[in-house]
Amino acid sequence: MDLSDLIKPEAIVPILKASSKKQALQELASHAAYLTGQDERIIFDVLLQRERLGSTGVGKGVAIPHGRLTGIDEIFGMFAGLAKPITFDAVDDEPVDLIFVLLAPEEAGADHLKALSRIARLLHEPGIAKSLRGCRDSAGLYSLLTQTAESNAA
């Protein structure tokens, strides 16, 4: 599964301004709703419900909020770099500044887990995370995410 199958260039938010986890999830849900045609409140609720089960802050400044969503036909990914790191209740208690949202159809099954695993591996690579933090334009971020993921898969 290539990352270019999960994320499109328009699903990159280079500088997201948010001062809390809830605000970040609201902003991301709004953007995801615009791109998917789904209801913003439903997307926000799906992401928030997942956070209540346990933080999706996976450590090293990275969070991967995710959930299953009725009404979408394929897995949808979106990436955001935060203007300033925020508290996200991450496993290492470090603030988060890189967020990758993943929404999957209800029937996605193992594909959802494979996508989560792929994203987590990519974003935990120190060189990748550093490059993403140093880039502030959509095209550059998209290129870093998709080209790096493809070269790592080879």
Say if residues 80 and 13 touch (Cβ distance below 8 Å). Answer: yes
Segment 92-96 long-range contacts (CB within 8 Å, at least 24 positions apart): 92/59, 92/60, 94/59, 94/60, 94/61, 95/61, 96/21, 96/57, 96/61, 96/62, 96/63
Q: Is 66 a catalytic residue?
A: yes
> Which one of 31, 66, 112, 124 is the catalytic residue?
66
Amino acid at position 58, single letter: V
Q: Which residues are catalytic?
A: 66
